[in-house]
Amino acid sequence: MQHSPLQHFIRISLQGLFWLLPIVAILIILSWLYSKITTMVDWVFRLTGFLPESHLFLWGVVVVCIFLLILYLLGWIVKTRLANLFEYIFCKIPGYGTIKRIVGIFNSSKEGENQVLVVAIKGFTQEGYNIGLMYSQKESIIKDHYTVSLSMSPIPNGGFMFEIPKRHISIIPHASFDNNLQYLLSMGVRSMSEILKCESIEFQDLMTLEQWLEENKKTETC
């Protein structure tokens, strides 16, 4: 279907508008919250006669102490049932669950079925392999297939997701999300063995995903 130059311009412009709107909305909300907090703090300062401009060092100490106190209170709440209540409430906010999962991706020290694994997969070229990430070790909707993400280089915030047969996935030992990020940013100038500071490994010597799943299952039952 052919479009006139004007229709093409309008369509592309609308795509840009809808991409920009959520960002603008968040910035407006943050700006509004900041103005309200500033007004409240100024009112407290006028009431107490404390002027931050005249006591910058003292004001900095107060801010740091308040921040540490908030972190302590949050850490205490996390260990109580109140954390589940707050999480239940926040999960009702659209987008909270997605943001939480995205943030969780960058925690490469997770364990169990949500551990981030750096894997080598076969099947995209006649010879060789590709290095990718498994953000979860849950089986796909397709039997004996698992989701592997291949990120772009040097900008790793894009990429592709593939459903790979379990027999074609091998685990790169001692590799983390951070190691894979360094590998992508270097555009291959630094090899994965250089980043991990280890010798190169024969592909057949790598642990297969099936072996990893079996070992993980034994660990969970112990």
pLDDT given for residue 90 in this prediction: 64
Residue 112 has pLDDT above 50, yes or no: no
Give the torsion sign (CA, 65, 67, 73, 78): negative
3-state SS record for the chain: CCCCHHHHHHHHHHHHHHHHHHHHHHHHHHHHHHHHHHHHHHHHHHHHCCCHHHCHHHHHHHHHHHHHHHHHHHHHHHCCCHHHHHHHHHCCCCCHHHHHHHHHHCCCCCCHHHCCEEEEECCCCCCCCEEEEECCCCECCCCCEEEEEEECCCCCCCEEEEEEEHHHEEECCCCCHHHHHHHHHCCCCCCHHHHHCCCCCCHHHCEEHHHHHHHHHHHHHC
Q: What is the pLDDT of residues 172-196, one digit of tens each?
A: 988 888 888 888 888 888 888 999 8
| pLDDT value for 108 | 45
Q: Does residue 51 carry a pLDDT above 50?
A: yes
What is the rounded average pLDDT for all residues in the chain?
A: 75
Give every CB contact of residue 186 below 8 A, 6+ residues apart in sequence. 154, 195
The number of beta carbons lying within 10 Å of the beta carbon of residue 170 is 22
Which whole number is the average pLDDT over 144-149? Answer: 92
Mean pLDDT in residue range 28-49: 70
Q: Which pLDDT score is estimated for 114?
A: 55
